[in-house]
């Protein structure tokens, strides 16, 4: 079955990983800092903390913001569950923000209405988690205005969006937000197998995330609580975690990041090609094309189907060996969230979920495969319409 996405691993990646295996460090070595510095430079942020998943990165961001039990955290309703779970790890209340029915990105008007109501009730959120779904940047300028007005921390969940650009800045620059997190899971823009990273321009957040990513341990002699230390001494100052990335993963990440612009160029060319091949298909709504102001990383190519044919088309396309996927069930519909309280169903999220399909797009997809996916989708849709 043709997957909707898969990693691109080449000879240089294999060599980078092999070199680490025969070096002195498998973990806690110099490649971690090198990878962190490279990602921070690429995105234009000051600080980066490499971790073993984006889920860990989200958790660390919530810790850095000081999220606690009974705080409110607002999350885009359409995302992978990790975007919301990070707030639950700390006992916070999660509220979901409705999304645009075609892009799945958070609807800033809906957020503003929630904030107006929350202010009147004295229940403003501590954090808003904005997801750049499929790699398409959310409206960060409007979000940063709301952030200034209502005083929340803005966390960009950029699991899908390495290399995306908004108003001339790379996602990850944190120009409009407090922290941005990335995922390096195999289907993402670059991979370290499992892996993630937190980026920020705030030194305090950086120090907290760094310390909590490695057991809450402090090695810097100047920052120790007990200053009468012998030479070997380090101390655990917080109840942290082992969220560290290994040197094997960092080596793969460095090698992959060297090629990210090539990966992105291929993804962008494929998105354009789909746009050309599908533009006249009746009832099909295509993702918004790139502009100079907003450049997607095209992690996913998500089409919106007319009527009620989505589930049938999903099955039919998979019968034709096209591994389409659905991203995502609204988070509030998962049994765990249902068990917390009765969440109101949100119109945009419901529409997006029930009409959208992710069709194959990844650097190694050939043009012939792409044409075959587009042609099969069109002919199945024609059958549905006839
Ligand atoms: C939007 C989003 N956020 C967070 C995550 C979690 O990433 P990871 O698998 O690296 O923990 C994912 C994973 O698919 C995701 O899609």
Mean pLDDT computed over 173-181 = 98
**Residue 279 C-alpha to ligand 1 middle, in angstroms?**
30
| pLDDT of 131 | 98
User: How far away, in angstroms, is 308 Cα from ligand 1 center?
Assistant: 28
Residue 340, domain extent: 260-385
Q: Once rounded to an integer, what is the mean pLDDT over residues 285-308?
A: 97
What span, in angstroms and rounded, lies between the C-alpha atoms of 331 and 81?
6
Look at residue 228 in the predicted model and tell me its pLDDT. Answer: 85
Same domain as 247, residue 271:
no
Q: Whose CA is nearest to atom 13 of ligand 1?
A: 80
Lowest-confidence region among 133-137, 191-195, 221-225, 229-233: 229-233
Q: Are residues 67 and 214 in the same domain?
A: yes
Same domain for 273 and 246?
A: no
Ligand 1 nearest-atom number relative to CA 328: 16
Instruction: Report the percentage of the chain scoring pLDDT > 90.
Output: 97
What confidence score (pLDDT) does residue 229 get? Answer: 84
Judged against a pLDDT cut of 90, whether residue 376 lies above it is answered with: yes
* pTM, rounded to two decimals: 0.98
Helix (H), strand (E) at residue 165: strand 165-166
How many angstroms is it from 281 CA to the middle of ligand 1? 32
pLDDT at 385 over 90: no
What residues are in contact with ligand 1 under a 6 Å CB criterion?
53-55, 79-80, 82-83, 131, 157, 159-160, 183, 185, 196
Q: Is 221 in the same domain as 296?
A: no
Find the distance separating the first CA and the last CA of the chain, reported in whole Å.
27
Pick from 133, 159, 179 the residue to mutate for probing ligand 1's pocket: most ligand atoms within 8 Å of its CB: 159
Residue 386 in this model has a pLDDT that exceeds 90: no
Instruction: Specify if 133 maps to a domain.
Output: yes
CATH number, residue 349: 3.90.1150.10
User: CA-CA distances (angstroms) from residue 77 to 40, 50, 166?
Assistant: 28, 26, 22
pLDDT digits (tens, 9 = 90+) for 209-267: 999 999 999 989 899 999 888 888 999 999 999 999 999 999 999 999 999 999 999 99
Whether 236 and 216 have beta carbons less than 8 Å apart is answered as yes
Q: Are residues 268 and 379 in the same domain?
A: yes
Choose the final residue of a domain: 210, 241, 257. Answer: 257
Q: pLDDT at residue 351 above 90?
A: yes
Say what angle helices 367-385 and 260-278 make with each other, to 10 degrees: 30
Looking from the CA of residue 195, the nearest atom of ligand 1 is: 10
Do 247 and 342 form a contact (C-beta atoms < 8 A)?
no
Distance CA 11, CA 135 (A): 27
């Amino acid at each position: 079955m043709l997957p909707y996405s898969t990693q691109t691993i080449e000879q240089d990646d294999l060599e980078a990983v092999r070199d680490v295996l025969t070096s002195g460090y498998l973990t806690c070595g110099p490649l971690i800092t090198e990878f962190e510095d490279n990602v921070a430079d690429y995105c234009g942020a000051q600080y980066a903390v490499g971790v073993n998943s984006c889920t860990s990165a989200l958790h660390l961001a919530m810790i850095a913001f000081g999220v606690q039990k009974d705080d409110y955290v607002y999350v885009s309703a359409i995302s992978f569950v990790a975007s919301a779970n990070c707030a639950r790890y700390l006992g916070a209340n999660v509220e979901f923000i409705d999304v645009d029915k075609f892009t799945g990105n958070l609807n800033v008007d809906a957020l503003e209405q929630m904030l107006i109501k929350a202010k009147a009730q004295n229940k403003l959120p501590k954090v808003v988690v904005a997801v750049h779904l499929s790699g398409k940047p959310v409206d960060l300028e409007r979000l940063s205005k709301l952030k200034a007005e209502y005083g929340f921390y803005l966390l960009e969940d950029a699991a899908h969006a390495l290399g995306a650009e908004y108003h001339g800045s790379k996602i990850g620059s944190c120009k409009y937000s407090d922290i941005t997190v990335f995922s390096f899971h195999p289907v993402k823009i670059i991979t370290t197998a499992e892996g993630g990273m937190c980026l920020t321009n705030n030194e305090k957040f950086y120090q907290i995330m760094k310390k909590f990513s490695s057991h809450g341990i402090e090695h810097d002699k100047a920052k120790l609580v007990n200053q009468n230390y012998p030479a070997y001494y380090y101390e655990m100052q917080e109840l942290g975690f082992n969220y560290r990335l290994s040197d094997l993963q960092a080596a793969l990440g460095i090698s992959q990041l060297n090629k990210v612009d090539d990966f992105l160029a291929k993804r962008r060319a494929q998105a354009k090609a789909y746009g050309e091949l599908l533009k006249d298909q009746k009832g099909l709504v295509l993702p918004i094309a790139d502009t100079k102001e907003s450049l997607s990383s095209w992690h996913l190519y998500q089409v919106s189907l007319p009527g009620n044919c989505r589930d049938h088309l999903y099955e039919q396309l998979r019968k034709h060996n096209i591994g389409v996927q659905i991203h995502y069930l609204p988070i509030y519909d998962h049994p765990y969230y249902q068990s917390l309280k009765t969440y109101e169903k949100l119109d945009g999220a419901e529409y997006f979920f029930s009409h959208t399909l992710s069709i194959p797009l990844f650097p190694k997809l050939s043009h012939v495969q792409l044409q075959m996916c587009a042609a099969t989708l069109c002919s199945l849709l024609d059958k549905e319409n006839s």
